[in-house]
Structure 1
Amino acid sequence: MATSIEIVVGTYEEFLLGYRIRPSRSNNRKYDMYQSFSTHSHTSSIRCLASNGKYVASGGCDDRICVYDLEARKEVEDLYIHDGTVNSIQFVPDCSYLISCGADGKMVFTKTSNWKIDRVFEKAHKGSPVNYVSVHSSGKLALSIGNDKILRTWNLINGRQAFATSLKNNKALGNSLEFVIWSISGEYFLVAGKDTVEVWSTEKAEVISTKKCESEPTSICWITDTDILVGMENGKLLFFNWEDENEEATMCEIYDNRVKAMKYHDGYLTTASSKGELNLWKVIIDEKVEIEMICGIDIGCRLTCLDVIDLSKIGIIKEVKEEDGDEDMPLKKTDVKTFKTKGTVVVEIDNDDDDYDILITSKASKKRQHEGSSTKKKPKTPINNKRKSVRLSNGFVEEDC
């Protein structure tokens, strides 16, 4: 249900922001997106996010990993375990470990029970920066890629590298590999670089499908074990089913700049543009593919990463029963508390030339400290007041949001 999710985004301006969905009071929209929390724990841009249960972790260019408790609405740990930008972080499925990798070439396994380091691979990719890590749904395996263009498989049971596959001769992937992502079941995974997405079979350990993109892939997510969505540098979404080689890939343009991040969850797709547009879409897959924009907002900061948490599934709020089409449905109060922060954060934004001026005030009144930080910006027409038309395959959806 859209109203039970919380979207967490990281920004270039060092802020971690949360957004919730609620039934709209407007006559021409069903839902609105509103800010649920903000915090300023990092001292440089946020690079990656991961979540499991009530925990959310963010890694940044300040070499730090900050861990937050969504239920208590507070920061619970500040990890200084890397000597360079944290490029990727992942919780194992049972949330017993947090795996991180970075520009320093390290892969670090941190216990979540006490947030202490359990194991460090100082040169996981022979000293090259490690770009991405992905954990298998069983929690027994992990994949990593780095600037050395080696795909490495890690045995998480004994904490050792199991296999190493060289992709140096694969010119289609370019000089840098950006993504390696397991499918939902873990029977497949994909590798992406330059303008190409490769689908691999876990059992065969070989490429079973290749898809060329018209622009560089900047974000990727699995919808099913065969359906894949690719967000690209040119602001377009590419949808394809790797099993059906004869089916033409479908495409739509949702932004006029890069699709910076996206996440699929339970029939909904959350996307973010590099200029600060955050949108929630309903995904319909039948004989044709359609996406319908549910709601959106222009944050006013440059977005770098996002994650989606279903609060009802982890017991933070009760699931709200939505009455489809009932625009008079009252707003629901939840048990979610606002984040407690130490100071006031004020963001002053001048979008005329895409320059962002940030003023951070460390001192605050007792009242402001109690209420938490606030984020202010100049008035700007929100994206959810614009009319969006999206064409995918033979389907055409037009929605007022």
Structure 2
Amino acid sequence: MATVTSIKRARLASSSKEKKKVQPVAQNDHHLVSSTKGKQRAKQSTKPASDDTVLPASFKVIAGSYEKLLYGFDGSVSLDETKDGYKFELQPIFVFPAHVSCIKAVAASPNGGKWLATGSADEVIKVWDLRRKKEIGGLMHHEGSITQLQFPSRSHLLSASEDGSLCLFHARDWVVLRTLKGHKGRVNSMAVHPSNKVALSVGKDNTLRMWDLMRGKGSASTKLGKEGEVVRWSTTGSSFVVQSKNTIDVFTVDMVLRHTITHPSRIHTIRFSKRVNGSGELLLVGAEDKKLTIYDIPDDPEKMPTVIAEMTGHSNRVKAVEILPLALPRSTKANAPLSTIILCTASSDGKIHVYDLALLPADQKAGSEVLQISPVAEYDTKGTRLTCVTIADGEALEHASSVNGKRKRGDEDSEQEDEDEGWGAHEQEAEHDESG
């Protein structure tokens, strides 16, 4: 059998307990070619992790498509003196067929953006070194299409699949630390809490499940009465949403339904974000109506979220959205902002759009006229049906840190060791208690 491509000579395989389910992938050294029951216990353990990393000054956008093509872009921001503002640009760096079937999920590791993971209907998760623009190998643990990928930290990758399971991989030697089973049928979506201690998942079995990532087992579940398609935590981790068709259900952390939002058209993607100007949370909704709709989340949990703005410009459904806090170049203007948040969308129209969330004013609240916001940068793939998108960090600027900016990006290995705490040194397969 062909050998496995290595990451620092470590094998893309699992421990002996998982070896039967993980197959090596043939080495091809493929480079990225440039061609232009515990609800209460869970509630107590969901304290958000501190966000104190230095913000990147540039970024990379990676998008997948039905046509198996993987697109990569370098993103930059510079001062635009003519318009007394900032200029955002996307520069293509690669495009090539990355899988043998459609690409359904992409994810980039945070705090440095070293690793990229891509998942496909071919049942393989491919791992790429973004810094070297090189394919590392394939993880073949799942026996169904990959539906979602997420890096909870830069040393861990979580995957969801149509085979009904979730897998937590260690991003140093790529062993399987956890296999979470419990869904009967495909897992459509999963979301890791900001604390990195618990995760949620929804699937074809109409069930919402909560997983204890520290212990590698299910901690709670509830029947939704409909198929959940996307699940997302709020930025504070104090609530979450489940999307199904054109509805969004808002839940408290202990799985109590608070609100149901009915969107005007079929929804494909949702994402929470903080505001750039002012305080509070936003809910970003991409749908068949060719827009990314922004809902304001009131401070009073009893009040319904309301539409305050729309990101426009696409000519077909918005399939995916991702966000990234970004440092801005220093300006001579008094009180010039040091940072912003960019939104990146991928659409079936074949276009990648970048939006600047700083264009949403602080006083844009419920009752205001719905603001129309145009993209600040775009790239047209000329008809490729894009399915997913992610944003990776570029270089960091020391002057712009996040809210608690006390720590600069340090030694990767030592930080990875810190992140490994509590995730479990040994792999274990967790069967969910079906009575839960």
Alpha-carbon distance between aligned partners in 2 of 1:83 and 1:185, rounded to the nearest angstrom:
34
Q: 1:37 to 1:2 in 2, by over 3 A?
A: farther
Unpaired stretches in structure 2, ≥5 consecutive residues = 1-54, 275-279, 326-340, 365-370, 401-436
Secondary structure of the structure 2 residue equivalent to 1:139: coil
Contact 1:124/1:130 (<8 A) preserved: no
1:7 aligns with 2:57: no
- 8 Å contact 2:283–2:294 — kept in the other structure? yes
Amino acid corresponding to residue 220 of structure 1 in structure 2: I
Separation in structure 1 between the aligned mates of residue 373 and residue 353 of structure 2, nearest angstrom: 11
Q: In structure 2, what is the Cα distance between the partners aligned to 1:118 and 1:23? A: 38
Match of 2:349 in 1: 275
Name structure 1 gaps, 5 residues minimum. 169-174, 322-401
- Aligned residue for 2:376, secondary structure, equals strand
Aligned mates of 2:250, 2:265 — CA distance in 1: 18
Q: TM-score, normalised by structure 2?
A: 0.65
Q: Is the 8 A contact 2:296 2:308 kept in 1?
A: no
* Residue 162 to residue 247, structure 1, CA distance change in 2 (3 Å): closer
What value does the CA root-mean-square deviation take over the aligned residues?
Answer: 2.7
Q: Give 1:142 shift.
A: 0.6
- Say which SS state the counterpart of residue 235 (structure 1) adopts: coil
Match of 2:235 in 1: 184
Where relative contact order (Cα < 8 A, 6+ residues apart) is larger, the structure is 2
Give percent identity, aligned residues only. Answer: 31
**In the TM superposition, what is the alpha-carbon distance from 1:303 to its structure 2 partner?**
0.6
Question: Which residue of structure 2 aligns with residue 207 of structure 1?
Answer: 257
| Of 303, 308, 314, the match for 1:250 | 308
Q: What residue in structure 2 maps to residue 394 of structure 1?
A: none
Which residue identity is paired with 1:85? S
Please tell me whether residue 241 in structure 1 is matched to residue 296 in structure 2. Answer: yes
Partner-residue secondary structure (3-state), 1:309: strand
Query: Does the 8 A contact of 1:260 with 1:304 survive in 2?
Result: yes
Cα distance in 1 between the residues matched to 2:76 and 2:157: 32
Distance 1:59 1:36, change over 3 A: same
Residue 389 of structure 2 is matched in structure 1 by 306
1:78-117 correspondence to structure 2 within 5 Å? 78-93=138-153, 95-117=154-176
1:31-180 mapped onto 2 (5 Å cutoff): 31-53=88-110, 54-93=114-153, 95-121=154-180, 123-126=181-184, 128-168=185-225, 175-180=226-231
CA distance in 2, matches of 1:13, 1:285: 38
Separation of aligned partners in 2, 1:22 and 1:158: 41
Local SS of the residue matching 1:71: coil
C-alpha separation in 2, matches of 1:319 and 1:8: 25
User: Per-residue deviation at 1:265?
Assistant: 1.9
Q: Given the superposition, is the C-alpha separation of residues 124 and 77 from structure 1 closer, same or farther in structure 2, using an over 3 Å criterion?
A: farther
What CA distance in whole angstroms lies between the structure 1 residues aligned with 2:394 and 2:399? 11
Look up the match of 2:71.
17
Q: 1:279 to 1:249 in 2, by over 3 A?
A: same
**Alpha-carbon deviations, 1:153-209, whole Å to 9, x = none?**
0001110100011111xxxxxx4311101112212211111211122221x431223
1:291 alignment counterpart: 373
User: TM-score w.r.t. structure 1 length?
Assistant: 0.70
Equivalent residue, structure 2, for 1:352: none
- Counterpart in 2 of 1:265? 324
Residues 314 and 349 in structure 2, CA contact (< 8 A), matched pair in contact too: no
2: CA distance between counterparts of 1:200 and 1:221?
Answer: 15
In structure 2, how many angstroms separate the alpha carbons of the residues matched to 1:84 and 1:217? 24
2:267 to 186, 193, 217: 217
Contact 1:107 1:124 in 2 (8 A): no
